[in-house]
A and B are shown apart, each in its own frame.
Chain A
Amino acid sequence: MHLLLTLLLTLGLMAAPATPGDGLPKARQGTFALTNARIVTVTHGVIENGTLIIRNDRIVALGTDVKIPPDAEVIDCAGLHIYPGLIDSGTQLGLAEIGSVAETRDYAELGELTPHVQALTAVNPNSVLIPVTRVNGVTTVLTEPSSGLLSGQAALINLHGYTPEQMLLAGREVMVLEFPTTGRRGRWDRRSDEDIKKAAEKAIKTLDETWERARLYARIDSAYQASPDKSRKPAYVPEMIAMLPVIRGTMPLMIKVDAARDIEKALEWVAKQQIENVIFSGVAEGWRVADQIAEAGIPCLVGPVLSIPTRESDRYDKAYANAALLKKAGVTIALRTGETENVRNLPYHAGFAAAYGLGTEEALRAVTIVPAQIFGVADEVGSLEVGKKANLFVTDGDPLETKTQVLHVFIDGYQIPMVSRHTRLYDEFLERNPGLVKHPGATPDPTPAGSDDR
């Protein structure tokens, strides 16, 4: 009986690989040797005809003179290229599934000040959008809440894992501040210029008050931490507790800001509040005030690159060129798509930035090592180096070029199945079976029947 059960179980396991979640084959870790590859390390040049060894979640060796471990699974990459996994510095991936269906949107909490809500809580590891994204070489994204002023904490996630915690990269979360805007939020925004200005001023006042309170709360908290027996425990104020790491500079404050006037205001505000760990995101009109941003030394997450100019009088290619113009002024830049279902287009946003002045090398850096540095995770990801996480992908060409095929993806050392809803529908429907079957009523009728009896 016991033997029979074992036999049945073994047969069952042999018959079909496990297909969890959306029915995708399982990713797996192990020891992999990627041989004969052109290895683009991003930080230490290009290695021609090299080998890269992955063991468990790490890159353990790379170079031209690398011994292949006997237990390694060899993947011949002759004629192929290895790149560090791409990082999108601003998305809503995992927080929204179907744009128009409110029940599937989890990025906008109610309230003006919600620093205590965490994107990570609502990241759906089984989102159908995730496999669609990662098979294009995007391995890591910042996924952001967006609402009110302090929207909550964005999470830097790897695009593989069964729980949000598994996906979170190096515990990195970022506080999101939607800076009050004097710009119009789109065609729907029908407020008068005066109303927009007033609303912005009021919001900045709210921010000032919030920071004042948060600093006070941090002082009280510090005093209590220093001597818990002598001081009174600070009151439970979840918003203020969430602000502690921001006030103490351990959590970056990511300010989403686009219009030039708002960027100037934000620079002024950051200086006034003496906030240290600051990142700008969006920065659509950054090119207008590039020198000021450079002087403040604030890194920018720029994008979407594929967008139209903010003003009718602007040159048609300003959004494409924005990243290059900022870089030229001395600003540290990474790129973001601002996308959800089409985060997979990150390499093309980078490609357009490259074509309009940034150049391929800088554009590649802006979606690999630079965001890793900005988010403080450059010792983990962003380049191909021994000891870093095995977040990488293999291509048959320039990863920014449209027609380039991605052949392998590794995230956290897991070999990712190269399938998604999109590839599976292709496989099923390219040559549909059955093909055309004439329907019963297909005989042409000489007189238009227009019958209502069908």
Chain B
Amino acid sequence: MRRHPMKRLSLLLLACLLAGPASAQDLFIQGGTVLTVTNGTLERADILIRDGKIARVGQGLRAPRGVRTIDATGLYVMPGIIDAHSHIAISSVNEATNPITAEVAVGDVIDPYDIAIYRALAGGVTTSHVMHGSANVIGGQCETIKHRWGEKNPEALKMEGAPRTIKFALGENPTRVHGRGNNVPPATRMGVEMVIRDAFNEAQRYMDAWAQYEARLAAGERVAPPPYSERLEVLADILRGEIIVHCHSYRADEILMLMRVFEDFGIDRLVFQHVNEGFKVAPELADFGAGASVFSDWWAYKFEVYYSTAYNAAILTRNGVTTSINSDSAELNRHLYHEAAKTQKYGQLTDDEALALITINPARQLGIEDRVGSIEEGKEADLAIFNAHPLSIYAVPQMTIVDGVVRFDIHADPDDMRLNVPAEGDVETATLWSEEHAHRCMQGVDLLEFLGTR
């Protein structure tokens, strides 16, 4: 039978539409070395993805008819990498106008066009904890996003149902910006504690006032409500345990201080970010149950990180602290697998321990460990496929999958992956990263003030 060429074309088009990666969330990944992280390594194993979830993991599975098969023979499949500290995909970072800005949220400024999202995917990263900056003692609320590159609605990037998180910051940044920059407390680490305690006390009184109002209202009294404050609402939610605090910190003394404050206020959901001197108070961190999200080896860029060690992650891990390695950088987030491998040089962690630092552990710190962070049946199908063991320097990410959708494919993607190509053409000024010394964490703090006060 001779087919009509047009019919053939339309059939082909139809096939393309049906198999189009953005709509179908079914995949069969065949014959790879599967690094589950939580249940060891499976050689020559298959993963069946149905509706964006991991339906089955095991050896000798059969690909259901019509499901796209990815041949992973000789390749390594690991859970999508999770970056617990990032500032990509947002159009502003710091609301550096007050030591306390709990009412602002980076979720309001998500930028789905940021090319850093795609570049992160090309490094196997599927989830980022997008954070407010570190200018304020109590900064803004953060957002856990999935790297659904190609989606142009900011809301579509948010990981629905992920726990709420907020940024705190101790030490040099808030004391420089507010104390020395604006002549308002805190100017010292003593002042930082004071700001936090005052804030929580005020929030406590606010909660009491509202509780009293509700009670009197329920009793049939006609009463005026207390003044509403978005800031205090958020602080109250922290006291109620509804928000995980992620606190920028470096020195052991300030880390200890915050744990004591949180003990006094009965708050227990706490993750320290950067926490370069965490190794000094590892037993205390483990005892509190606080998480630590660290750099693999950043140090000496400011005084409060001079007494650092690249063995930080290993010491914390060995002391029983839930530890992750983060990027805080649109450069570093592309090779978190390499950053995790550094713990094998600095502290000789096992493969599973090292991989946990960028998968299940950051998932725990973000409260999403039931959904992502390991390769287990029922979890969301966020996966990264490498051509060598991801802890090897020679590993090159081949494909990254988010919710069963291929979002990065080294062999299929064109060089230019921008979503918004400017109409005026492709005249771009080169931005030289090597000249870029400032950390994103302090972006939005006026440069002159920044230089003038440090």
Query: Which residues from chain A sit less than 8 Å from chain B, CB to CB?
Result: 97-102, 128-129, 181-188, 193, 196, 258-261, 282, 284-285, 304, 306-317, 319, 338, 340-342, 344-345, 348, 351-352, 354-356, 400-405, 421-423, 425-426, 429-430, 432, 435-436, 439, 441-442, 444-445, 448-452, 454
A99, B345: Cβ atoms closer than 8 Å: no
B302, A98: Cβ atoms closer than 8 Å: yes
Most B CB atoms within 10 A — which of A260, A338, A426? A426
- The residues of A that contact B438 with a CB separation of less than 8 Å are 186-188
Q: A404-B345, A405-B345, A450-B265 in contact; A430/B311 too (CB < 8 A)?
A: yes
Q: Decide if B443 is an interface residue (CB 8 Å cutoff).
A: yes
- The residues of B that contact A304 with a CB separation of less than 8 Å are 434
Q: Which of B309-346 contact A (CB under 8 A)?
A: 309-311, 314-315, 318, 330-332, 334-335, 338, 341-342, 344-346
Q: A284-B433, A308-B119, A401-B392 in contact; A316/B342 too (CB < 8 A)?
A: no
Q: Decide if B58 is an interface residue (CB 8 Å cutoff).
A: no
A403, B391: Cβ atoms closer than 8 Å: yes
Separation of A348 and B416 alpha carbons in the complex (Å) = 26
A430, B315: Cβ atoms closer than 8 Å: yes
- The residues of B that contact A345 with a CB separation of less than 8 Å are 297
Choose one: A261, A356, A402; the contact of B342 (CB below 8 Å).
A402
- The residues of A that contact B118 with a CB separation of less than 8 Å are 316
Q: Which of B197-228 contact A (CB under 8 A)?
A: 197, 200-201, 204
> Nearest-CB distance from B345 to chain A (Å)?
5
A429, B119: Cβ atoms closer than 8 Å: no
Q: A100-B303, A184-B429, A306-B335 in contact; A426/B415 too (CB < 8 A)?
A: no
Stretch of B3-11, B68-76, B278-286 at the chain-chain interface: B278-286
Choose one: B264, B283, B430, B437; the contact of A259 (CB below 8 Å).
B430
Q: Which of B408-451 contact A (CB under 8 A)?
A: 415-418, 421, 426, 428-438, 443, 447
B344, A402: Cβ atoms closer than 8 Å: yes
Task: Scan B226-259; emit 1 where CB is below 8 A from any A CB, else 0.
Answer: 0000000000000100000000000000000000
Q: Decide if B300 is an interface residue (CB 8 Å cutoff).
A: yes
> Nearest-CB distance from B238 to chain A (Å)?
12
B454, A102: Cβ atoms closer than 8 Å: yes
Q: A306-B335, A426-B311 in contact; A187/B443 too (CB < 8 A)?
A: yes
A99, B437: Cβ atoms closer than 8 Å: yes
> Nearest-CB distance from B382 to chain A (Å)?
19
Q: A355-B393, A422-B310 in contact; A308/B434 too (CB < 8 A)?
A: no
B418, A307: Cβ atoms closer than 8 Å: no
Separation of A351 and B416 alpha carbons in the complex (Å) = 25
Chain B: interface residue total (CB-CB under 8 A)? 79
11 contacts between A and B (CB under 8 A): A183-B429, A183-B431, A284-B432, A306-B331, A316-B417, A319-B433, A352-B335, A401-B394, A403-B345, A403-B348, A425-B279
Q: A308-B331, A314-B415, A429-B282 in contact; A402/B338 too (CB < 8 A)?
A: yes
- The residues of A that contact B308 with a CB separation of less than 8 Å are 421-422, 425
Q: Which of B358-397 contact A (CB under 8 A)?
A: 391-396
B435, A448: Cβ atoms closer than 8 Å: no
- The residues of A that contact B348 with a CB separation of less than 8 Å are 403
Q: Which residue in chain A gives the minimum CB-CB distance to B298? A: A342
Most A CB atoms within 10 A — which of B260, B347, B395, B415? B415
Choose one: A314, A404, A432; the contact of B283 (CB below 8 Å).
A432
- The residues of A that contact B260 with a CB separation of less than 8 Å are 439, 441, 454
- The residues of B that contact A312 with a CB separation of less than 8 Å are 115, 418, 428
Q: A188-B447, A258-B432, A403-B391 in contact; A98/B306 too (CB < 8 A)?
A: yes
> Nearest-CB distance from B440 to chain A (Å)?
9
Separation of A186 and B282 alpha carbons in the complex (Å) = 37
- The residues of B that contact A442 with a CB separation of less than 8 Å are 263
A401, B393: Cβ atoms closer than 8 Å: yes
Most A CB atoms within 10 A — which of B118, B282, B393? B393
> Nearest-CB distance from B405 to chain A (Å)?
18
A355, B119: Cβ atoms closer than 8 Å: no
Separation of A439 and B284 alpha carbons in the complex (Å) = 10
Separation of A102 and B451 alpha carbons in the complex (Å) = 10
Q: A183-B431, A188-B447, A352-B335 in contact; A422/B309 too (CB < 8 A)?
A: yes
B300, A284: Cβ atoms closer than 8 Å: no
Apart from A306-B332, A316-B334, A432-B283, list 8 A-B contacts with CB within 8 A.
A97-B300, A128-B300, A306-B335, A313-B415, A342-B297, A402-B342, A426-B315, A439-B260
A185, B344: Cβ atoms closer than 8 Å: no
Choose one: B301, B345, B393, B430; the contact of A311 (CB below 8 Å).
B430
Separation of A260 and B428 alpha carbons in the complex (Å) = 12
A308, B330: Cβ atoms closer than 8 Å: yes
A185, B428: Cβ atoms closer than 8 Å: no
B454, A100: Cβ atoms closer than 8 Å: yes
Separation of A11 and B303 alpha carbons in the complex (Å) = 39
Q: Which residue in chain A gives the minimum CB-CB distance to B118? A: A316
- The residues of A that contact B297 with a CB separation of less than 8 Å are 342, 344-345
- The residues of B that contact A310 with a CB separation of less than 8 Å are 430-433
Separation of A304 and B431 alpha carbons in the complex (Å) = 14
Separation of A152 and B20 alpha carbons in the complex (Å) = 57
Q: Which residue in chain B gives the minimum CB-CB distance to A186? A: B436
A429, B280: Cβ atoms closer than 8 Å: yes
- The residues of A that contact B122 with a CB separation of less than 8 Å are 316-317
Q: A403-B341, A442-B263 in contact; A260/B430 too (CB < 8 A)?
A: yes
- The residues of B that contact A98 with a CB separation of less than 8 Å are 300-303, 306
Choose one: A187, A193, A444; the contact of B431 (CB below 8 Å).
A187
Give 5 nearest A-B pairs by CB, closest first. Answer: A351-B393, A403-B344, A426-B311, A99-B301, A186-B436
Choose one: B299, B394, B431; the contact of A354 (CB below 8 Å).
B394
Q: Which of B132-160 contact A (CB under 8 A)?
A: none
Q: A352-B393, A405-B345, A448-B204 in contact; A284/B430 too (CB < 8 A)?
A: yes
Separation of A444 and B287 alpha carbons in the complex (Å) = 13
Q: Decide if B60 is an interface residue (CB 8 Å cutoff).
A: no
> Nearest-CB distance from B63 to chain A (Å)?
30
B434, A258: Cβ atoms closer than 8 Å: yes
Separation of A421 and B277 alpha carbons in the complex (Å) = 13
B433, A307: Cβ atoms closer than 8 Å: yes
Separation of A97 and B307 alpha carbons in the complex (Å) = 12
Separation of A187 and B263 alpha carbons in the complex (Å) = 40
Choose one: B239, B314, B394; the contact of A355 (CB below 8 Å).
B394
- The residues of B that contact A316 with a CB separation of less than 8 Å are 118-119, 122, 334, 417
A313, B426: Cβ atoms closer than 8 Å: yes
Q: Which residue in chain B gives the minimum CB-CB distance to A319? A: B433
Q: Decide if B266 is an interface residue (CB 8 Å cutoff).
A: yes
> Nearest-CB distance from B123 to chain A (Å)?
8
Q: Which residue in chain B gives the minimum CB-CB distance to A450? A: B201
A448, B266: Cβ atoms closer than 8 Å: yes
- The residues of B that contact A439 with a CB separation of less than 8 Å are 260
Separation of A115 and B396 alpha carbons in the complex (Å) = 42
Q: Which residue in chain A gives the minimum CB-CB distance to B278? A: A429
Separation of A203 and B300 alpha carbons in the complex (Å) = 34
B396, A355: Cβ atoms closer than 8 Å: yes
Most B CB atoms within 10 A — which of A313, A422, A432, A450? A450
A421, B307: Cβ atoms closer than 8 Å: yes
Separation of A260 and B427 alpha carbons in the complex (Å) = 13
> Nearest-CB distance from B303 to chain A (Å)?
5
Q: Which residue in chain A gives the minimum CB-CB distance to B257? A: A454
